[in-house]
Amino acid sequence: MDYKEEQSQEIEILESIYPDELTVLNSDYPNIEIQVDIKLEPVPLADSSYTADSITNHHILHATFTFPENYPDEAPVIKVVPEEVPKLDKDDEEDDEEEDGEDEVEYDDHGNPVVSRFENLPDKIHFHEFVPQCVEKLNGQIEEDMLLGMQMCFGLISNIKEYAEEWFQEQLSELERQHDILLQEREKEEQKKFRGTEVTRETYLEWRSRFRKELGLDVRDADRRLAAHQGRLSGRQIFEQGLAGDEDLDEDDETLITEGVKTMAV
């Protein structure tokens, strides 16, 4: 096989397919090197809360192929470099100068970062994490599909695009899942703020005793009764002191205790 001629023919074919995307970095045989700029078109899955319009950056993968002397009988050296370019419309261009740096993080009263239900998760996906597994997958594909001995760059370029767009969908789905869990946890924390202390008979009686003692209700009632009976014990007082049972609440007690229960619940 004439490796130089084989490589030259493949480059001509690739230039016809990618007239604007392909750049020959080194045309001298051996070690011919080309770069293809692959513009991705990531689209969220159908069940996602986002659409393609939610993606505010163009994602481009610069794929470089270096041909060994005996390519295609030997696999090319593959390198992938990601790039993000903001999608700017006219309004964005006018406001761009006013928006320097990253958006400030907002915090709630407890110091926790505010989690927005409408956070734009697609902007959190970056392809730097994708590159190592992509190159590894491509090298594995060359062996598994037995591509050695044939021109393979077009197929590899197509697979890079396919792998990257599938990876984007997987990452977005996982981010949405984690975001939903975080929102649910925050909502539970917020709901706790509006829940009072659960009142049982035991906790109520304990609170009632403490409440009456703090406000001096028992002493007040005793003084009132003595004054009302000119210092003589009433039948009710005799009954209470003899049996030491819980007394019924008069209207004043009910009012005070109702207010106390509200205070306790809050």
- pLDDT tens digit sequence for 144-202: 999 999 999 999 999 999 999 999 999 999 999 999 999 888 888 777 777 766 778 88
> Are 219 and 158 in a shared domain?
no
Q: What percent of the chain has a predicted confidence (pLDDT) above 90?
A: 52
Q: Is the pLDDT of residue 125 over 70?
A: yes
**126-129: which pairs have CB atoms within 8 A and are 24 or more residues apart?**
126/82, 126/84, 127/40, 127/59, 127/61, 127/82, 127/84, 127/164, 127/167, 127/168, 128/82
Q: Which of 142, 163, 192 is the last residue of a domain?
A: 192
As a whole number of Å, the end-to-end CA separation of the chain is: 86
- Mean pLDDT of all residues in the chain? 82
The domain of 236 spans 201-265
Range scoring the smallest mean pLDDT among 30-44, 151-165, 175-189, 249-263: 249-263
Nearest to 87 by CA among 60, 115, 118: 60
d(Cα 133, Cα 141) in Å, to the nearest integer?
12
Kindly list the distances between the CA atom of residue 164 and the CA atoms of 64, 183, 253, in Å, as whole numbers in the listed order: 16, 28, 73
Q: What pTM, to 2 d.p., does this model score? A: 0.64
Number of domains, the chain: 2
Same domain, 163 and 247: no
What pLDDT score does 20 carry? 97
Whether residue 222 sits in one domain with residue 188 = no
Does 74 or 112 have the greater pLDDT score? 74
Q: Does residue 82 register a pLDDT over 90?
A: yes
